[in-house]
Structure 1
């Protein structure tokens, strides 16, 4: 079972361009010949594109061999084992502070998980572009992995 990504290939392309601003500024400061600079820019762009394409085409969440994998942005993947799961609920209506702002808050969803032999813990679902619309992640988990409850805070 797979929950596909919401992002499209154009967004992956734009993300791969983001580090190029810093590369170009750094090369301008170094004052290398244009052939070397162009070579470095090309290599950096290819590395960036491969990185973003590899990470951008992975599903938002998937289930394999009794494990739920949830992508958290670009870098992280959280794994929940069904055979160790005692209870789980999906909470909406939480807020978190926005970095760099004292007054702004962003919406955040939370999975509250109780594993056998452990205390209850929370897993923040911050990537609402992928998981939030129409409660995509909640419905995916409920329909394919575990009959969890939806709680509004």
Structure 2
């Protein structure tokens, strides 16, 4: 006969260990010449960065668009363009992998369309660097998705 055992301890889930943007950033870090760019608030990136640095004990090159409240309300296309061009100028990566965060996904921004517009307008400046988008909402699924 089955015996029901009630739990006395609360469930503890570390949201970073199930974060889709962190999983995508980690995948981009595995590509030679790639740099992950988390499109959202600076806090999203700093939490992910803290987890990776604590785990690997070395500097991890995560970048962010550092959107503030106003940018989240009106849209982050300008911040995204500025971050892409800044990364291209400073680091010259072969690939910039954009990982969206909950703040961008909840607003339902057309990040793929924004990136296509940026690539079209800034084609000369982006020669030698591919820019790709991974739609990774924090609020659904998990890190391996």
Greater C-alpha radius of gyration: 1
More strand by share: 1
User: TM-score range, shorter-chain basis?
Assistant: under 0.3
Does 1 or 2 have the higher relative contact order (CA < 8 Å, sep 6+)?
A: 2
More helix by share: 2
